[in-house]
A and B are shown apart, each in its own frame.
Chain A
Amino acid sequence: MGNIAMPLTVAIPMLFAVLILITGKFWRGVGSYLGPLAVFIPLYLSFFLLGVKDTTYIMGGWIPPIGIVMVLDGLSKLMLIIINGIAFFSIIYAISYMSKYTAQFKFYALFLLMVAGMNGVVLSGDLFNLFVFLEIASLASYALVGFGVESEELEAGFKYLILGSVASIVILFAVAIVYNITGTVNMADVANTIGNPMLNKAVIFALGLFIFGFSLKAGLVPFHAWLPDAHPSAPAPVSAMLSGVLIKALGIYALIRVTFSVMGAPTEILSIIMWLGVVSALVGVLLALGQYDLKRLLAYHSISQMGYVALGIGLGTPEGIAAGLFHMFNHATFKSLLFLDAGSFEQSTGTRDLRQMGGLMKKLPITSIGTIAGSVSISGLPPFNGFWSKILIIAAALASTQYLAAAIATFVAFGTLASFVKVMRFSIIGPLPKIYQNLKESPFSMTFSLLALSIICLISGLFYIFLMDSLFYPATNAILKQSAYISMVLGIGG
């Protein structure tokens, strides 16, 4: 009858968020003690759930399709590991980074609400709860983007808020249409009722709305306008969470769930997702080449790398999907690492402009090691993890005779490499400007996260075959076997 750890991954961050809000009124520094604990417990639980058989959890004892149900399958397990792992390193990093802000307990509360929302999104078994958890996570992220209340941050936050709300409403609209057709919002029940989605025009319309909404949340071109503003404006741990996890849990995960598990992956829709991915990869990297603002450059690369993920998923073959998921995992590690690095540079030097940096290798050695690890991973140089996932995606594209997509993906890989050679050339090597003679390395909690993420980048590159077998192929199976998903949730044979 399900595993008790599943609702706890959502409930514990929420409980701690409230506790932090209450005690924070009397003791402002409480967040830096309770916050990491509140993320560590779900992280432990998600590793525990990795060894559990696929199962469902019935909220309050009401059986599906009437009651609310949480579903744990291979994809959910993978997403739980990504979300809570990155959240754990970000919140450890935030202990030192956020100490300069006055209302830091509010930061921790919002952060935990965001984590709870994302855990809910990946575990939720019906469309409406997916929407509700998505809104919890989004609302927390809207507030976090503007957390510094400087004018640029507010402007970016407002833009993100408006576009994000439009996406949410469109998703709700699609849910309403699906409910109108099927009379249920339980995903497995919807999948059971709809059958072939391409036969019903209303379902196609709903699917189009879903793709619009989730692509906007994922920041795919042409819905990317908010991303390069919002991600750089947030404080560094939040940037790492937004770029590392939020766009994946709210965008790509939800897109996969709806197109594969609910709608049964019609080939036309898959090719739309694939071409969205190709265009995002190309446009993102071209826009990134001209940037000198470090965090903005990284944000454009997020668009580009999410394009790779969408390309892998859109191929629809087991190899393509597994490679796409592997790249999603890798992107979570190296992009959050790079954003945390950028935050460390910004805190030490006071600028994000690459042209004003230089020679920081001598003064900030650990941050620079992190930057090198992250840059090498994202540019796809062996033996770091980015290399394997990119080459697997390109190989999968060639195997399904998408030669143009494979060619563009290869070109984008070189563009990424060029862009990060620029980053390294301007930030860590070269002459050290005089004003930076007295710089000190960042405090321990920041360097700990940077080193840990760098090591994860290296290790997941070295042992990628093991990871593919234990994480990504089970997730791919969960995506592709729609009938197994339906029978697991509804408890019918099949």
Chain B
Amino acid sequence: MKKEKIKDLIEDPNIGMTLIVKTVARITIALILLYGFYIIIYGHLTPGGGFAGGVILAIAYTLMMLAFSRHIALVKLSDFWASMWDNIGMLAFIVIGFVGLGFGYFLFNFLSKGKPFSLVSAGIIPLLNLSIGIKVGAALYAIFIGLSIYGRLVLEEEE
């Protein structure tokens, strides 16, 4: 879709929620995404981690879906790519496990543990957190969008 057309869709008052919601959503979505990545990347130091951060990432996209309508969300991240990222996250996790096998054990922490309480530490755990975060975020978004598309189809069939 062309940029102008997306802009028209975003600003069309008949699509999505009211202007107030749209304005707030436009500001907050970026912040929510940032916060999600923060939770994922600092998962080995603070509470949270892959799953919690991934849920927050998915919430950002779900907010987009609710505020601006499903079409805008699908332009930003299509269902194909959502399910692709979902699989890539899981593949990354398993591949990291297999690499650990080369060092003796499945899922062995083969990277240097680093200094405790610094961002780059704990070996493979941040990498695993990142892959889980991507997987959970994409999967949850895919679930929302899938249920939404499919539920709409069923309702339209009825009318």
Contacts and interface: CB of A to CB of B under 8 A. Distances in A.
Q: Do chains A and B touch in the complex (CB under 8 A)?
A: yes
Contact of A22 (B87, B98, B101, B106): B87
B154 to A, nearest CB: 12
B125 to A, nearest CB: 10
User: How big is chain A's contact interface, by range?
Assistant: 10 to 19
Given A11-B97, A15-B94, A22 B84 contact: yes
Interface string A40-59: 00000000000000000111
B88 A22 contact: yes
B111 interface: no
Contacts of B83: 21, 25
B87 A60 contact: no
B80 A25 contact: yes
B74 to A, nearest CB: 17
Interface string B32-73: 000000000000000000000000000000000000000000
Contact of A25 (B84, B91, B94, B107): B84
Contacts of B144: none
Contact of A21 (B87, B95, B109): B87
Main DSSP-derived SS at the A contact region: helix
Contacts of A59: 105-107
Contact of A60 (B80, B94, B95, B107): B107
A57 to B, nearest CB: 8
Given A18-B90, A21-B87, A22-B88, A61 B104 contact: yes
Nearest to B86: A21
B122 to A, nearest CB: 13
A106 B93 CA distance: 20
A19 interface: yes
Interface in B107-131: 107-109
Nearest to B109: A60
Contacts of A11: 94, 97-98, 106
Q: Which of B94, B105, B106 has its CB near the most chain A CB atoms (within 10 A)?
A: B106
A19 B107 CA distance: 19
Give the size category of B's interface with A: 10 to 19
Contact of B106 (A18, A21, A60): A60
B51 to A, nearest CB: 14
A112 interface: no
A372 interface: no
A103 interface: no
A270 interface: no
A15 B97 CA distance: 10
A175 B120 CA distance: 35
Contacts of B80: 25
A357 interface: no
A4 interface: yes
A306 interface: no
B108 A61 contact: yes
Contact of B91 (A1, A7, A19): A19
Contacts of A60: 100, 105-109
Interface of A: 1, 4, 7-8, 11, 14-15, 18-19, 21-22, 25, 57-61
Interface of B: 80, 83-84, 87-88, 90-91, 94-95, 97-98, 100-101, 104-109
15 contacts: A4-B101, A7-B97, A7-B106, A15-B91, A15-B98, A18-B90, A18-B91, A21-B87, A22-B88, A25-B80, A57-B105, A57-B106, A59-B105, A60-B100, A61-B109
Top 9 A-B residue pairs of the complex, sorted by shortest distance between their CB atoms: A7-B106, A60-B107, A18-B91, A61-B105, A21-B87, A22-B87, A15-B94, A18-B90, A18-B87
